[in-house]
Amino acid sequence: MKLNHIKKQAGLTLIEVTLVIAVLLGLISVLFIGVSAYREGSNRANCILNISNVQKAVRSYQNLYELNVGGALTTDVIIGTGKMLESTPTCPSGGEYDTADVVPAIGTPYLTCSKSADEDGAHRPKSTSGW
């Protein structure tokens, strides 16, 4: 008895190739969404860190020159070469910083970000009790 061997062609059909490409594109898009969310979270953390650093510089200046809460204070005496902070901080998300004109009370930040009003206060520190 003679058996007929049917050769099956190796390879993928057009539908299989399209499906593989669609799955890969879906995975890549999820990766890009995750990276952008991570970047925004990092920018928020950097902004809050800038606010914290300026607050610590204000407290150091206040202690060094024995200023009272409510005393006049400008950023040019805190920020600059050889001062409490070397350079003016900038918000990594493009926000603008507003400063108080006086030494703030304990727990009140000297610097606020314009982005703290946006995005449900994302650029606002949750607690300033240790500052």
Map out the domains of the chain as residue ranges: 14-116
Question: Given this model, what pLDDT does residue 130 score?
Answer: 76
pLDDT in tens, the chain (131 residues): 566 776 667 778 899 999 999 999 999 999 988 888 899 899 999 999 999 999 999 999 999 999 999 999 999 999 999 999 999 999 999 999 999 999 999 889 999 999 887 766 788 888 887 77
Give Cα 89 to chain centroid, integer Å: 13
Question: Given this model, what pLDDT does residue 2 score?
Answer: 64
pTM for the whole structure: 0.76
Vertex 60 angle, CA 96 and 98, to 5°: 15
Q: Is the four-CA dihedral 19, 24, 28, 33 of positive or negative sign? A: positive
